């Protein structure tokens, strides 16, 4: 399936053939899990376990809302060549490096950045891969707008942008029809670690957060609630089991 734009960062990888239903399925029920700040490896293990439940136990979807301890993640395209500091420097600053199966290049996750991992069956949701990524972008665009921030899509790079500065990233994988990974939206993130890499392998872009863009009275908790509301509307779902 061809995507609408090229994926240069945190891109899509697909295992197996995904059928593309004609439209969103009506009112699926997804389970929402609100989690603490987690090391990347723990969150990834949890994704795998819960994705297996979605695949085998008939669950329509499970969505994780969390923040990560500081980590650089590498995609299938690599990314070590775009890390501009030494291992000793990273050790000193408490930042780990983790190789993932997602597409794309290197990016950063850390406290103050809202990370959302939907584990859903695309066919049950009535979505193709490109449609799914469009929906994730739409959720972030609407969330930014709640704080008066006008973000946009970029015809060359997926995610949401304010001018030449990236506000939110998307990176997914699909295995046996179930999505993994998801979106990362900079809320009150310390953006300093982004200066230690060429984000997404790009050297001519900046990184911005909602706070730096001028959002007032903003917290990850507040953004989490607004984003969950917009996700329900965009994906035409109801939440159950919110924690």
Q: To which residue do tokens 């939110």 refer? A: 168
Determine whether 135 is an active site residue: no
| Distance (Å, whole) CA 32 – CA 227 | 12
Tens digit of pLDDT for each residue in 97-136?
888 877 667 889 999 999 999 999 999 999 999 999 999 9
Q: Which two tokens stand for residue 95?
A: 């930042």
Tens digit of pLDDT for each residue in 125-158?
999 999 999 999 999 999 999 999 999 998 778 8
How confident is the model at residue 155, as a pLDDT? Answer: 77
Beta pairing partners, 120:
61
Tell me the pLDDT band of 203, cut-offs 50, 70 and 90: low
Half-sphere exposure of 83 (CA within 13 A, CB side): 22
Quote the CATH superfamily of domain 28-240. Answer: Bira Bifunctional Protein; Domain 2 (3.30.930.10)
Phi, psi of 186 (to 5 degrees): -75, 115
Task: Catalytic residue, from 3, 9, 80, 200: name it.
Answer: 200
| Distance (Å, whole) CA 213 – CA 84 | 26
CA-closest candidate to residue 210, choices 228, 196, 230, 224 = 224
CA distances to 72, 103, 196, 217 from 68, in Å: 10, 19, 18, 22
Determine the average pLDDT of the residues in 173-179. Answer: 93
Whether 22 has a pLDDT exceeding 60, the answer reads: no
**Using alpha carbons only, what angle is made at residue 45 by residues 177 and 222, rounded to the nearest 5 degrees?**
85
């Amino acid at each position: 399936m061809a995507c609408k734009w090229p994926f240069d960062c945190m891109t899509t990888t697909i295992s197996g053939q995904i059928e593309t239903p004609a439209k969103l399925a009506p009112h699926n029920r997804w389970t929402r899990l609100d989690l603490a700040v987690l090391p990347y490896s723990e969150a990834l293990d949890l994704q795998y376990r819960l994705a297996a439940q979605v695949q085998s136990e008939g669950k329509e979807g499970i969505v994780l809302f969390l923040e990560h301890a500081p980590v650089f993640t590498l995609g299938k395209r690599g990314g070590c060549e775009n890390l501009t500091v030494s291992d000793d420097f990273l050790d000193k600053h408490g930042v780990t490096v983790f190789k993932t199966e997602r597409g794309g290049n290197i990016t950063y996750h850390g406290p103050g950045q809202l990370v959302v991992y939907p584990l859903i069956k695309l066919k049950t949701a009535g979505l193709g891969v490109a449609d799914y990524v469009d929906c994730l972008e739409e959720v972030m665009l609407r969330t930014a707008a709640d704080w008066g921030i006008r973000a946009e899509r970029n015809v060359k790079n997926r995610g949401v942008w304010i001018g030449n500065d990236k506000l939110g990233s998307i990176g997914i994988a699909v295995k046996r029809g179930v999505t993994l990974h998801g979106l990362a939206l900079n809320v009150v993130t310390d953006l300093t670690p982004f200066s230690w890499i060429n984000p997404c392998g790009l050297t001519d872009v900046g990184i911005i957060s909602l706070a730096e863009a001028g959002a007032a009275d903003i917290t990850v908790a507040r953004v989490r609630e607004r984003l969950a509301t917009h996700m329900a509307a965009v994906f035409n779902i109801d939440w159950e089991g919110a924690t």
